[in-house]
Amino acid sequence: MKIAVTSASGKLGASIVKHLINLVGKDNVIGVARTPEKAAYLGVEIRKGDYNSREQFNAALKGVDAVLLVSGMDAPDKRIIQHRNVIEAAIQNGVKKIVYTSIVGAEEGNAFSPIVQTNRQTEKDLQNSGLEWVIGRNGIYIEPDLEYLETYIKEGEIRNCAANGKCTYTSREELGYGYAKMLTEDKHHGQVYNLVGEPVTQSQLTGYMNQVFHTSLIYHSVSVADYKAERVAALGDFIGTVIAGIYEGIKEGANDVSSDYKVATGRAHISTIDMMKVFKETLD
Ligand SMILES: NC(=O)c1ccc[n+]([C@@H]2O[C@H](COP(=O)([O-])OP(=O)(O)OC[C@H]3O[C@@H](n4cnc5c(N)ncnc54)[C@H](OP(=O)(O)O)[C@@H]3O)[C@@H](O)[C@H]2O)c1
C-alpha cells in the first residue's frame, strides 16, 4: 500500500511521514511537496506537488493508494480550489482513500471563521468525492506558542483576548501519530474526528509554561479590539486579523470541543503539560 502525504516539507506533513514510516516502512510512503528539496531529508520518495497545479498532482499521485491532504496556507478563496486539485487528481489516479487535516473552529462569528468555512467546504467535497475519506479536525498546535516563549519572557506575560475561554490544544507530534493510524486502519472510513487534547484556559496554560520552563509569566486578558489592533500592527492585516479571530473564537468557546483522539488512535491524547515537556526535550 502506497501512501502519499502532501505538504511533506512542512512541519505537520513531516510528522505524519515520520509516524507512517514507523507503521508501514519507508518504501510505502511518498512525500509530495511544492519545494521537494525541503523534504529530501525525510528519507522517502519525494514528488513535486503545488496545490495550484492539477497537472503536478496528476503525476504525483500515480500508483498511490491513499493520500493525506494537509490543508493549504493560502487566502480562503484560493484554498477550496487548491484542495479540489488534489481530490480530483486522486480520483483520476484511482486513489482509494483521502484523509484530510481540517480544523476545529466556529464557522461564523469571528475573523477566523472564513478559514474554517473553507475547511468545511473541503470536508463536503471529500464526502461527495466517491472516495473513502476520513476527516481530522485539528486543535490549535501548542508548538507555535512555545516557540514564542522568548517574547513572552521579555514582556513578562501572555497577552491575548481569549479571557477565560477554554482551548483544546494539540501538537504536531500527536497529530502525526493520529493521522498515521487513520491512514492505515479501515475502521476510520467515513468518520470526522476532533483531534485535540484537554480543554485549558490561558491562565492554566501560563501556569503549565511556568512549571515546565521555570518562568514567572502572568496571563493578561485584553479586549478583542485592543488585541486585534496590536496584532495587525505587529503582523499586518491578514495574519493579525486571523490571529485575533482565533483568540476571539477561544473566548467564545469555539475551541472547547470534546476529543475523539482516543477513538482515532487507540490511545489517550497526552496532557498539555506533557506536550510542553516533549517540546522542551527537542530543545535540549
Ligand atoms: N492547527 C493549527 O494550530 C494550525 C496552525 C497553523 C497552520 N495550520 C494549518 O496546518 C497546515 C500545516 O501546518 P504546518 O505546521 O505543517 O505548517 P508549515 O510547517 O508552515 O508548512 C506549511 C506547508 O504548506 C506548504 N504549502 C504552502 N503552499 C503550498 C502550495 N501552494 N502547494 C503545496 N504546498 C504548499 C509548504 O510548502 P513549502 O515548503 O514549499 O513552503 C509547507 O510544506 C497549514 O497549511 C495550515 O493549513 C494549522
- In the structure grid, which three cell numbers stand for residue 92, read together? 483520476
Pick the residue whose CA is nearest to atom 23 on ligand 1: 10
Average pLDDT over residues 183-210: 98
SS3 of 65, please?
coil
Across-strand partners of 47?
Answer: 32
Question: In this structure, what C-alpha cell is assigned to residue 171?
Answer: 501538537
pLDDT of residue 77: 86
Residue nearest to atom 6 of ligand 1 (CA): 141
Residue 283 predicted with pLDDT over 90: no
pLDDT in tens, 14-47: 999 999 999 999 999 999 999 999 999 999 999 9
Q: Is the pLDDT at 284 greater than 80, yes or no?
A: no
C-alpha separations of 17 from 32, 87, 121 in Å: 10, 20, 26
The confidence score (pLDDT) of residue 76 equals 87
Distances in Å between the alpha carbon of 259 and those of 106, 137, 266?
16, 10, 12
State the chain's mean pLDDT as an integer: 97
Beta carbons within 10 angstroms of residue 194's beta carbon:
20
Q: Is the pLDDT of residue 244 over 90?
A: yes
| Cα–ligand 1 centroid distance for 116 (angstroms) | 15
Protein residue with least CA distance to atom 43, ligand 1: 10
Residue 94 contacts residue 62 (beta carbons within 8 Å)? no
| 248 Cβ contact partners less than 8 Å away, ≥ 6 residues apart | 110, 111, 112, 161, 162, 224
Residue 9 Cα to ligand 1 midpoint, Å, equals 8
Band of pLDDT at residue 75, cut at 50, 70 and 90: confident
User: What is the pTM (predicted TM-score) of this model?
Assistant: 0.96
pLDDT of 96 > 80? The answer is yes
Q: pLDDT tens digits, residue range 107-150?
A: 999 999 999 999 999 999 999 999 999 999 999 999 999 999 99
What separation in Å is there between the alpha carbon of 131 and the centre of ligand 1?
24
Whole-angstrom distance, CA of residue 226 vs CA of residue 230? 6
Task: State the distance from the centre of ligand 1 to the C-alpha of 74, rounded, in angstroms.
Answer: 9
Q: What is the pLDDT of residue 38?
A: 98
Q: Which percentage of the chain shows pLDDT scores above 70?
A: 100
**What pLDDT score was predicted for residue 127?**
98
Q: Which residues line ligand 1 (CB under 6 A)?
A: 7, 9-13, 33-35, 38, 50-52, 70-73, 103, 138, 140-141, 172
| Identity of the amino acid at 40 | A
